[in-house]
Amino acid sequence: SSCDIGMIGLAVMGENVALNMADHGFKVAVYNRTVQVAKDFVARNPSTPGGLVCCETLKDFVRALKKPRKAVILVKAGPPVDMVVKQLIEAGVEPDDIVVDLGNSLWTDTIRREQEYAKQCKFFGSGVSGGEVGARFGPSLMPGGDPASWQHLEPIWRAIAAKVDPATGKPIEGASPGKPVEGGVPCTAYIGPNGAGHYVKMVHNGIEYIDMQLICEAYTLLDGLLGMSKDEMSRVFSEWNSGDLDSYLIQITADILQQKDPVQKDKPFVDFVLDTAGQKGTGKWTSSNALDMGIPANAIAEAVFARCLSALKDERVEASKHLSGPTPTPVADRQGTITAIRDALYCSKICAYAQGFQLMAAAQAEYKWTLDFGTIASIWRGGCIIRARFLQKITEAYTRNPGLTNLLLDPYFNDQIKQGQANWRKVVSIAAQNGVWAPAFMSALSYYDGYRAAHLPANLLQAQRDYFGAHTYERTDQPRGKFFHLDWPHPSRPQLDIKGTG
Ligand code: 2AM
């Protein structure tokens, strides 16, 4: 028993996290269901600073770990996680040992598993973001579970996490195999008990969906309204990347747009990528949880539906032959339009993040977690896919006011939208007039206009419900919580509804 930690599941994420740990001097036991995969992995990486120990059985794996044992599982989310935990228990894992699920698990599964296995081990859930490269050289890690278990994991999590420069808030780049970055603030912090880490990871992914969709809409508008070439667009995104929109996703977009296709020489690579998006489900989970909790995360859901619509490629091709729309007319004011699209993107992005944080606030109330929103934003500054300069502003907003009800109400964000909204509205209306698809820009704007409305037409809606279903309504001239019904065939006076009032 000499290993500091163990990794089960050696697909690319598992391998890279194991190598990341070994680079930081931790001795890592590795196990994979298909044993040859583990053997090959260790053979390919014979001399890491910490060392990798190939375990052919789970019994060997359990025996290889120092107590309290720390076993990380990185297998396909769902039933495989339970299979592996049960096998680990059979192989000798004890009640004080910590079994970490680092996969993209549904947070309710994590809550269930912690309880289900409580007598046999400390089950702990940690979100990880950053893709393959993040896993290898520094991901953002969102740990949730028993605080005492976190004490044991923390040194390892802090070591392997991405690091940001405390002065600039920007990720420290430049790690290479065997040479991790030194110093910096690690992009990990204890999120909360049981499923809190996986929940926050899920919301991160929901935000990632909308962040990507907004960029795609900007791209399609630059094309549809300005007829820009991919190289020109690449320069626009590079320029945006030096301002408020500075982020990993904008940067890779600039990079992608200047990429030439290796087969169809000298033509843009993106032009040969089929326009049908895939998805693995975390955006859908975020959106259906928003529906379950009654939180209007409409822009996040819009991004999921946008992927669904893109996937209906054959139907769209057919419909394009029958359904009419306006022919986009080129816009004359080129620079003004570019700036307007940038502003629309930034304002929409603020709304999208406001929705994500509203979701976490609602989940916190539902599960009695105490989430630190400023810290959550800060650990997303590096390592993860949504890393961005913008996150520093969110941390500052929650530092100014930890009880902030909505990001939109923070003075900085409020001011940013004040400055950008005329352009945002212009872009949405030009898109509508020209028949350019921009669902997330539009959805975000309608969230903004709905959220800032002291009065919505739901008075008529309640009247309709009372009319056809006697669903009752509250009155503006009576205290809240008193429910009335109008006897519609004989509307002489409103009746106080006893059932509704109770
Ligand atoms: P494999 O190499 O034996 O397929 C991603 O699929 C990773 O999860 C792989 O390392 C895979 O192991 C592992 N995995 C998937 N389902 C599993 C299961 N039911 N039990 C153990 N490992 C599993």
Distances (CA, A) of 97 to 75, 124, 153: 19, 10, 11
CA angle centred on 417, ends 415 and 422, rounded to 5°: 120
Ligand 1: which of 74, 76, 102 to mutate, judged by most atoms within 8 Å of the beta carbon?
A: 76
Q: How far is the CA of 352 from the centre of ligand 1 (A)?
A: 35
201 is catalytic: yes
Per-residue pLDDT of 141-188, as tens digits, reads: 999 999 999 999 999 999 999 999 998 889 999 999 999 998 999 999
Q: What is the mean pLDDT of the chain?
A: 96
Q: Looking at the predicted structure, is the pLDDT value of residue 498 above 80?
A: no
- Kindly report, residue by residue over 435-444, the tens digit of the pLDDT: 999 999 999 9
Q: How far is the CA of 80 from the centre of ligand 1 (A)?
A: 7
Q: Are 56 and 38 in contact (CB under 8 A)?
A: yes
Q: What is the mean pLDDT of residues 93-118?
A: 97
CA max distance for the chain: 87
Cβ atoms 194, 65 nearer than 8 A: no
Q: Which tokens go with 243?
A: 């301002």
Q: Are 107 and 202 in contact (CB under 8 A)?
A: yes
Spatial distance between the Cα atoms of 428 and 212, rounded to a whole number of angstroms? 18
Nearest-angstrom CA–CA distance, 303 and 296: 14
Q: What percentage of the chain reaches a pLDDT higher than 70? A: 99
Directed axis angle between helix 196-226 and helix 334-367, to 10°? Answer: 160
Distance CA 383, CA 132 (A): 10
Q: What is the pLDDT of residue 496?
A: 81
List, in sequence order, every beta strand (DSSP E) within 390-501: 484-485, 495-496
Asked whether residue 400 is marked as a ligand-binding residue, the answer is no
Q: Which CATH superfamily is domain 198-451 in?
A: N-(1-d-carboxylethyl)-l-norvaline Dehydrogenase; domain 2 (1.10.1040.10)
pLDDT of residue 497: 78
Fold held by 5-194: Rossmann fold (3.40.50)
Q: What is the pLDDT of residues 61-88, one digit of tens each?
A: 999 999 999 999 999 999 999 999 999 9
Annotated catalytic residue: which of 114, 208, 217, 302? 208
pLDDT band at 502 (very low <50, low <70, confident <90, very high): very low
Residues 6+ apart with CB under 8 A from 120: 89, 93, 94, 95
* Ligand 1 close to Cβ of residue 36 (< 6 A): no
Over residues 234-271, the pLDDT tens digits come to 999 999 999 999 999 999 999 999 999 999 989 999 99
Cα–Cα dist 93/53, whole Å: 18
User: ipTM of the predicted structure?
Assistant: 0.96
pLDDT of residue 493: 82
CA of 77 to the centre of ligand 1 (A): 10
Residue-level pLDDT at 330: 84
Domain 458-501 has CATH 1.20.5.320: yes
Least confident among 38-42, 441-445, 487-491: 487-491
Tell me phi and psi for residue 417, to 5 degrees: -70, -35
In degrees rounded to 5, what are phi and psi of residue 7? -125, 125
3-class SS of residue 96: coil
Tokens at 34, concatenated = 């298909």
- Look at residue 499 in the predicted model and tell me its pLDDT: 63
493 labeled binding residue: no
Residue 489: HSE in the Cβ half-sphere, 13 Å Cα cutoff = 0
Mean of pLDDT values over 92-114: 97
Residue 75 known to bind ligand: yes
Residue-wise pLDDT for 294-349, tens only, equals 999 999 999 999 999 999 999 999 999 999 999 888 888 999 999 999 999 999 99
| Domain range list for the chain | 5-194, 198-451, 458-501
Catalytic residue among 27, 70, 122, 201: 201
Element (H, E) at 185: strand 185-186
Give the mean model confidence (pLDDT) for residues 370-379: 98
State the number of CA atoms in the 13 A half-sphere of 160 facing the CB. Answer: 28
Ligand 1 in reach of 10 Cβ (< 6 A): yes
What is the mean pLDDT of the segment spanning 406-421?
98
